[in-house]
Amino acid sequence: MFLDRIRYLLHCYCCGLVYHIVVVVGVHVFLFWFVPYYTNRPFNQNCFAQIWYFFKAVYFLLSGYQIRHGYPSFLTTKNVFRKYGGINWFLNKCYRLIPFLAEVKTLMDYVFTKTTLTRSEWFNFQSIYAEVYDLECSKSEKDSARGAPQRGCGKFGWFIVLAVVLLFILGPLFILYFGITVLGVTNNPMQVSMKISLGSFEPLFQVVADSDHIKVWTKTEFENFRQEFSLSQNAVEFVKDFGYRQIVTVTVGGESKRIWIISPPQYELLVERLSPNNTKPVRLLFEWTLTNDPAVTDMVSSYGSNSVMLEQSSEERKHLYQLLKQTKRINTTDSAIIMNLFPQYVHSQSTSSTVRPAYNLYQGTSKTFTNVRLTLRRNDSSTWWRVFDDPTPKEKPNLQLTIFSDKVSNPYLNFIVSIGWLALYSSYVLVVGNAIRQSWGSTSTIMFQELPNVKRILELCNDIYVAQENSMFQLEELLYAKLIFLYRSPTTLIKWTKPETLKENQNESKNSSQDVVVATSNAAPSNNAAPSNDAASNE
């Protein structure tokens, strides 16, 4: 493209012919030998290569047609935009909106055109011509009579244009937000681990659930769940943000996966901490950890917990103390019931590593945290804990945890989430809003944007192009100085840009005043002659 523009400006016929032949040969060698050799696909099976070759063939046809008829010996910008109208105005605006295209074209024209103008003067001249051309195109569309209101179709047309522009500008943001939030990827956990610990001592209970123990809800289960919580407004608002595929139930066996290893001194210290004589409270902690797919989200691991403080007088503490004191009994059926130890429903957020209880499902409902029944099992060599969901039958110890997982964005859109949706949206809206507001114009540009008639300025610009093409450099300097003087002199600019009707009225009034002067001058001698005749007669 750049070489085409250069040889067009330099009127270089031989260079254009050589360049055309080299490009034709190079493209055919590239498409019919190089591409099939490295892609192992022949040209007739490569759709993208065929499409690209079609456009190149059109380019070769137009370029050959231009070389055959020769380059014009006289170049002006009118070769691109010969007429003035709404379509020309729209095409010129689209051309100038392409980033850096107008600037590169202007700079290339300056480099390969003989001129006396400096770089800044050349850019000023091109800017003046572009603005005057836009004004002439817009003025040619104004065909309403003086004193007549604007047509409604035109006003509504501009309103529709603005609405469409805003839709195309802001629409991608909403589509992107919709894709991140609604059309995101399901982020259900791959593995769930649970742990119960007492104070700072070794964990009592540890278990891990893999994908075999994680069940995704069915649509029927989801509808039944919604019906169950339909009376709670908080629960309804919470559940409506999830689909049934975003909810899983984790069911794990109540038998601890690890034996309880604790040294005798630590065991005695634990019994002492739970004894009725100790007034300090003991913290019983239930922890859950979710492991997600690293291919879906960067938040691979998330954690949540809930604790119960066992006061000196609490029944839970007394039951645990009795279990630990029965060291000689094997497979005891005694148990300790811990009230509200862990939530049955938890919420895994896409942007947080903390898995919190789904409090909205507990507000305004009869649901409470799950009660847990702890039993201690012993044999000759090992000790371990069993956990039951109360009132689960004692023969089948297990735990159930229901997880509501937010969808995460597509991995290709993670950079937007990392930047921050609100910050990105605010910055984008501010920039676009400022650009649209500046496009309405301001009072500082009224003098140059509201010129009634710019034909004489266009003629002056074309005269500058003519002087450049004919190497009349002194005339070029003179005409450019005249153009700059116009923009520096408001009075002269107003005179140059008067409407045609106003000029005609002024000419008519000037002609009429001249007729009056002539008539008066013709009548003056007769008035003077009368007294002389009277005087002669008197004499």
| SS3 per residue for 102-135 | HHHHHHHHHHCCCCCCCHHHHHHHHHHHHHHHHH
According to the model, what pLDDT value does residue 303 have? 92
Is the separation of the CB atoms in 305 and 288 below 8 Å?
Answer: yes
Question: What angle (nearest 5°) sits at the alpha carbon of residue 284, between those of residues 282 and 289?
Answer: 150
Per DSSP, 445 falls in state G
Give CA–CA dist 211/82, Å, rounded: 71
Give CA–CA dist 76/357, Å, rounded: 73
Give CA–CA dist 320/315, Å, rounded: 9
Give CA–CA dist 288/269, Å, rounded: 26
Extract the tokens encoding 381.
């060599």
According to the model, what pLDDT value does residue 507 have? 55
* DSSP notation for 310-369: E-TT-HHHHHHHHHHH--S-SS----EEEEEEE-SEEEE-TT-SBEEE-GGGTTTSS--P
Residue identified by tokens 């049955």 is 344
Extract the tokens encoding 492.
């002269």
- Helices (H) and strands (E) in the chain — how many of each? 19, 12
For 211, what's the count of Cα atoms within 13 Å in the CB-facing half-sphere?
A: 4
Is the separation of the CB atoms in 188 and 405 below 8 Å?
Answer: yes
Q: For 313-326, what is each residue's pLDDT tens digit?
A: 899 899 899 888 87
Give the global pTM.
0.53
Q: pLDDT exceeding 70 applies to what percent of the chain? A: 79
Question: What angle (nearest 5°) sits at the alpha carbon of residue 237, between those of residues 235 and 240?
Answer: 100
Residue identified by tokens 């800017």 is 127
Q: For the chain, how big is the Rg over CA atoms in Å?
A: 44
Whole-Å CA distances, 264 to 261, 269, 356: 10, 9, 36
pLDDT in tens, the chain (539 residues): 667 777 676 667 787 788 888 889 999 998 888 888 888 888 888 888 899 999 989 988 988 887 887 766 655 555 556 778 778 888 888 888 888 888 888 888 888 888 999 999 999 999 999 889 888 888 776 655 667 777 777 678 778 888 887 787 777 777 766 666 556 778 899 999 999 999 889 899 999 998 888 999 999 999 999 998 888 888 999 998 898 999 999 998 888 888 898 888 999 999 999 998 888 999 999 999 999 988 888 788 999 999 999 998 899 899 899 888 876 555 556 788 899 898 999 999 887 889 999 998 988 777 889 888 888 888 878 888 988 886 555 566 788 899 999 888 766 665 555 556 666 677 777 777 777 777 676 666 777 778 888 889 989 998 998 898 888 999 999 999 999 999 899 889 888 888 876 555 555 445 544 443 343 344 444 444 444 444 333 33
Alpha-carbon torsion angle 101, 102, 106, 108, nearest 10: 10
Extract the tokens encoding 411.
């991995």
